[in-house]
Amino acid sequence: MIEEKRKRKRKRLYGRAKLWEISEDRLPDQKDLWYSFTHDISLNGIRIVTGKSVHPDTLMKVEFSLDGTEKTISIEGKVQWVKTDEYKFNRMFQLGIKFSEPSPKASLKLLGYIYKKDLSRFN
């Protein structure tokens, strides 16, 4: 049996995401932007599915929506792991991105989304 290493609850999150590779010496640029898809999320990070390979320890900016609306959350983080998925005619990559320091507003949105069902029993 495989032991679960995650310390935080994860929740499925299927939607589009924007990714930027960033560095400490310059700001992200539109030319560095590419689109991908979200898979699941926790308070500490997000799993992204993309067609572009990225190395672990790469600094990223991720922008995504929790509810499918135009309201987005933008968080920086670091790629912790990369998994390659081979399909018939293409290769996809799963990226595990650990959030650096989400803003208090982003953290509250994440809490509300991840624990919504658990918190509803207290109303």
The residues near 123 (Cβ < 8 Å, ≥ 6 apart) are: none
Residue 41, class by beta-carbon neighbours within 10 Å (0-12 exposed, 13-18 middle, 19+ buried)? buried
pLDDT at 2 over 50: no
DSSP 20: E
Q: Which domains does the chain have, with CATH numbers?
A: 11-120 (2.40.10.220)
Average pLDDT over residues 32-47: 92
Average pLDDT score over residue span 29-51: 89
**Dihedral pair phi/psi, residue 29, rounded to 5°:** -120, 150
The string of pLDDT tens digits covering residues 62-100 is 999 987 667 789 999 999 999 998 877 788 999 999 999
Confidence of residue 27 (pLDDT cuts 50, 70, 90): low
Query: Could you read off the pLDDT of 50-66 as tens digits, one per residue?
Result: 999 899 999 999 999 98
Asked if residue 50 lies in contact with residue 93, where contact means CB atoms within 8 angstroms, the answer is yes
The model's pTM: 0.82
**Helix/strand/coil for 106:** helix
